[in-house]
Chain A
C-alpha cells in the first residue's frame, strides 16, 4: 500500500532501515496513504516521502515543522509526520524545532541524525562531535554539539525518544508510539551516513547503543534529563520521556470542537457583523 520506489540514496545508508520501519509502522497502524501527510525539509532524510506512497509537502531546508503544524491545525483528521535531517532540524530549522515543541501540536517528528550534512557532501551539522574533521572543517569542529534530546526535554516536550537505524524492530515500535502520542513527539534516529561520516559508522553505534531496560520509568523528568545527556561510551535508545500534555488543539475550543477547518463552510455574509463596530 505504501509502495516501493527507486531511491537516490547510497547503498548501505541508514535511511533504508528508517524508511522500512516507517512503512511497517504505518501498515501496522492500519493507516490509509491518503490519511497520512509527511512534511519534509531538504536533505537526504527529507527525500524520504518520495519513496513512500503518502501525501507529501516537501518544502524548504529547515522548514519541515511549520507546514506540518499548519497541516494538522487545518485538518486534524490527518496523521501528520515531519521528516528531516539533523542539519535541517537543529541547524537551519532550530528555531521552528524549539517553538514547535512549545506549541505541542499533535505531530510526530522523525529526525534522521547522521551527525553530518549528507546531501551537501559532508560538512559538519549541529550534532557533529567537537573536534571531528569533515569535508569543510579540516581542523575539526570548534563548536559544541547540540544535545537534541536534552534540548527537547528542556523545551517541554512530552514525548522524547531515540532510535537507531540498526535496530529496526525497536524503531518501528517507537514510530508507532510517537504517531499515537497525542502531541508533539520526537524521535532522534541515529542514522549512519556511510559516505560522509567515517566516525559514526554502523559499527561505532553498535558498540555503544543499548535499549533502555523494561523497568525504565519514562515519566521521571530528572531521570530523563540524565538519560538524555548520556552519550559517548554508552548511548541509550528507546522512549526517554513520555507524559501526557494538553495539545494546542486541546486548548482551543474552536479547533477542538466541530469538524476539521477544511470541512467547515464559510459565508462572507457572516463577516458583515464586524461592520457594525464602525456604524
Chain B
C-alpha cells in the first residue's frame, strides 16, 4: 500500500542478487499472520504497510503480544482517514500505532527520523523484538519514504544479529519445555520447533499456562498478564532519549518527532545563527515514551512549542500524559504537504518569536 510499496519493490529488485523471495500475499492480515508463523518457526520476520493496511494487521499485533512472538512492523504513514491522501504525507497515526492491539501487552514504537536513522533503527528493532519477544513498530511517512538525500555510507560493522534463542540447555532431562516459563524478568527462554528432539513448543492466542496450553485459571491469568507487562520495565532501560538540535539549554524548546528532523535541523541552525536561544527535541524512540531529557530541558525552557504534521497535536498529548508537561504553543500542519524549513521559519517568526 502506498507509500510503503517501495519496501517490497526494492526487495523484489534485489531478490536474485541477495536470495530473497518476494510473495505478494492476499491481504495485510495474511501478511502479519505469515510473519508471525515465520518468526515462530525461527527466522526473523518483518512486515509493513501504510495506515489502512496496518489497521487490518492490528489483531495480529495483539497476537504477537500474547504469544510473545517477535516481529518488526513498518508503518509508513499517509494522511487519513481511510484512503485519505494516498500519495501525500502526514504524521497522524502516532496514537493509533501506540495503542494498536486489543488487550494489554508491551510493544515498542520507534519513529525513524532520516535515512541513516531508518537503517540503524531497523537493525536495532529486530534485536529488541527478539530480546523481549514483543512487536516493534517502525514509524515513517510518505515524505521520508520517498525523498532522496546525500548521506555518508552506512557502517555495516555496527549491525549485529542478536537472536536470544535458547538451545534447550535450560530444560532438565525429564522436564517438558515451558514456552511461557515464569521468570524474574518476564522473559521466557525461547526455543524454536524442531531444534530439540522430543520437545514441542506450544504458543497460543488464548490465555495459557506456562506450557502454552489454554487455561481458565484466575491465578495463571494474573501471573501471565504481570509476566508480559514486566518486560516493559527492562525495555524502558533500552530507550534512546530524543535528539536535541540547536542550543544546549534553549530558552525556546521545540518538541517534534520522526521525519521533521530534517526540516527542523535546517531551520533551527538558521535561527541559532541569528542569535536566538532555540533548540528542537526530536523523538525517535517514542513508545515507551522517554521522558528524562525532555523533563530536564523543559524545566529550563521559557517556552515549549509542539510542532507536528497532524491536526490534533498527538505528541503534545503524549507528553502531557507521560511527562506531565504542557506545551505552550502548537504549530500544526495537515494539508498533506511536508513542512518546509521556510515554512517552519516563517511560522516560528510569526507565531512564536515576534509576538
Contact = CB atoms under 8 A, between A and B. Distances in A.
Interface of A: 8, 32-35, 37, 39, 42, 47, 49-50, 53-60, 63, 66-71, 73-75, 77-78, 95-96, 98-99, 103, 248, 252, 254-255, 261-262, 266, 268-275, 278-279
Given A71-B38, A254-B21, A56 B26 contact: no
- Majority secondary structure of chain B interface residues (helix, strand, loop or mixed): loop
Contacts of B26: 95-96, 98-99
Nearest to B214: A50
B84 interface: no
Given A50-B213, A67-B36, A74-B43, A56 B204 contact: yes
Interface of B: 14, 17-21, 23, 25-27, 29-31, 33-38, 40-43, 45, 59-60, 63, 67, 123, 153-154, 156-157, 159-161, 192-194, 196-206, 212-214
A274 B160 contact: no
Q: Rank and list the top 7 A-B pairs by shortest CB-CB distance, nearest first.
A: A67-B37, A70-B37, A74-B41, A66-B33, A55-B193, A268-B159, A70-B34
A78 B36 contact: no
Given A60-B59, A78-B41, A55 B200 contact: yes
Given A67-B33, A70-B34, A60 B198 contact: no
A66 B21 contact: no
Contact of A42 (B33, B37, B159, B205): B205
Of residues A57, A68, A95, which shows the largest number of chain B Cβ atoms within 10 Å of its Cβ? A57
Contact of A56 (B14, B23, B202): B202
Contacts of A103: 23
A12 B67 CA distance: 32
B42 A57 contact: no
Given A67-B40, A270-B18, 13 more contacts: A37-B193, A49-B202, A50-B204, A55-B202, A56-B201, A56-B204, A58-B203, A60-B33, A74-B38, A75-B42, A78-B194, A255-B21, A275-B154
B202 A271 contact: no
Contact of A58 (B20, B38, B202): B202
B156 A271 contact: yes
A95 B30 CA distance: 9
A70 B200 contact: no
B30 A66 contact: yes
A220 to B, nearest CB: 30
Given A75-B42, A78-B194, A95-B30, A55 B201 contact: yes
B194 A75 contact: yes
Contacts of A99: 25-26, 30
